[in-house]
Amino acid sequence: MATQSCAHRRVPQFDQARQLALLFQAVESARNGIVITDPNLPDNPIIYTNPGFSDITGYSADEIIGRNCRFLQGDERDQQAVHELRKAVKEKTSVTTILRNYKKDGRLFFNELTISPVHGENERLVAFVGIQNDITARIEAQSRISDFYSVVSHELRTPIAKIKSSLAVIAEGEAGPVSDAVRRFVEISIKSADSLWGLIENILDFKKLESGKFRLILQRLAMAQLIESVIAGFEPVANRASVKLKYQCLASPAVNADGQRIVQVVENLLSNAIKFSSKDSEVTVRLILRDSWVRLEIIDTGVGITESDIPKLFDKFQQLESPDRRMRGGTGLGLAICKAIIEAHGGQVGVHSTPGQGSTFWFELEQAL
Ligand SMILES: Cc1cc2nc3c(=O)[nH]c(=O)nc-3n(C[C@H](O)[C@H](O)[C@H](O)COP(=O)(O)O)c2cc1C
């Protein structure tokens, strides 16, 4: 039965001996460590290892054959992965896990291991095969990234918060009289500190999103009012850029969503729309209902996005050059965060655009009944 089911995977022009030789050479040439154990012998000993296994662990075949693979664990016998492997061997099933293992010279390595039962005639268990992958470099890189995030959150946030509050004290004249010239420079500094703060917030948000530590606090929200208040809060930004904000509220549906996060998305899309609009133009915010989907569109008449850039737009760290070849500031994370937030709500986000005529960014959330 097992022979029949794998017949189509064989090289048809090879006889059985050549097929076996090819299989053996393939296993011997693999960069992964490959071991075969015999569960019908006491303590499930290794009966075959390939050179890849020796390259990873530093042990020669002679030092390995006849032993149980647990010798790679050193004293670390109480790992979750070891429990998973023990269960899989007992239940004769397959498992993939990551183990802390030790090379012959005592160095730790992270072993991404898959073991699978091998069945012979009449479905009898004849062996286990284990495929090992040394993923130490990947795990170390992840740990460096995690260190970086903790530096960002603890060692950058606090001083920037202090810079922001001190500058605010100066700008408001609370530390003494301020000349117009000084005030201008302080305002520029406040703006820069604010964008640095925004970048840090975005990086930390993104980390939460990526690691799945992002919790939504869902509640019933009246979208029409929520959007109206975001637009009202954006009037000063629009005025400074000489852009007119127009609100077309064509429905007043409710959604089950995290209000703070939806406001974050709308603010992000609005600030982009204003940033890419020319003076004296309009940005229209349109709220509509399409079947059971509440759709918000933010329509600008700005520089637009080329067709080839659209698929990259919602990827992290993408800073697109506008058709007039100017970069417009921002972290390159905003749209990726918007997408993640909307998708976490079970919604969709997208854009359509014509270069030179403008863009429409939209998102849809399911209407609450
Ligand atoms: C085919 C196969 C390959 C294995 N490879 C490894 C390995 O590379 N490193 C390791 O620590 N354990 C490996 N194990 C797991 C151990 O041999 C053993 O099953 C595990 O430590 C749990 O059982 P124990 O409590 O008897 O030690 C492998 C097991 C099998 C069946």
List, for residues 235-270, the tens digit of each pLDDT value: 999 999 999 999 999 998 999 999 999 999 999 999
Ligand 1 atom with minimal separation from the 37 CA: 1
356 or 219, which is more confident: 219
Run of H or E residues at 183: helix 180-210
Q: Is 89 in the pocket of ligand 1 (CB under 6 A)?
A: yes
Name the residue with the closest Cα to ligand 1, atom 25.
86
Rg of the Cα atoms in the chain: 30
270, 298 contact by CB (below 8 A): yes
Name the residue with the closest Cα to ligand 1, atom 31.
128
> Of 82, 79, 80, 87, which is closest to residue 69 (Cα–Cα)?
82
Alpha carbon of 24 to ligand 1 centroid (Å): 23
Alpha carbon of 9 to ligand 1 centroid (Å): 29
Distance CA 348, CA 368 (A): 16
> Of 47, 193, 194, which is closest to residue 126 (Cα–Cα)?
47
pTM higher than 0.85:
no
Ligand 1 atom with minimal separation from the 33 CA: 8
Alpha carbon of 136 to ligand 1 centroid (Å): 18
Count of other CB atoms within 10 angstroms of residue 244 = 13
Q: Is 132 in the pocket of ligand 1 (CB under 6 A)?
A: yes
Altogether, the residues listed in the chain come to a count of: 369
Distance CA 271, CA 277 (A): 10
Quick check: 59 pLDDT over 80? yes
The least confident of 52-66, 137-151, 326-340 is 326-340
Distance CA 177, CA 12 (A): 90
**Region 166-194 average pLDDT:** 92
> Per-residue confidence at 1, pLDDT binned at 50, 70, 90?
very low
- Residue 318: what pLDDT? 58
> Of 268, 255, 283, 286, which is closest to residue 336 (Cα–Cα)?
268
Strand order in the sheet with 46-49: 46-49, 33-37, 125-134, 108-119, 95-102
The least confident of 188-202, 222-236, 270-284 is 188-202
Q: What is the mean pLDDT of the chain?
A: 89
Q: Helix or strand or coil: residue 54?
A: helix
Distance CA 245, CA 300 (A): 10
Alpha carbon of 117 to ligand 1 centroid (Å): 13
- Residue 332: what pLDDT? 67
Ligand 1 atom with minimal separation from the 83 CA: 22
Q: Is 68 in the pocket of ligand 1 (CB under 6 A)?
A: yes
**Exposure string for 341-358, b = 16+ CB within 10 A, e = fewer:** bbebbebebebebeeeeb
> Of 104, 112, 108, 118, which is closest to residue 64 (Cα–Cα)?
104
Percent of the chain beyond pLDDT 70?
93
Alpha carbon of 236 to ligand 1 centroid (Å): 64
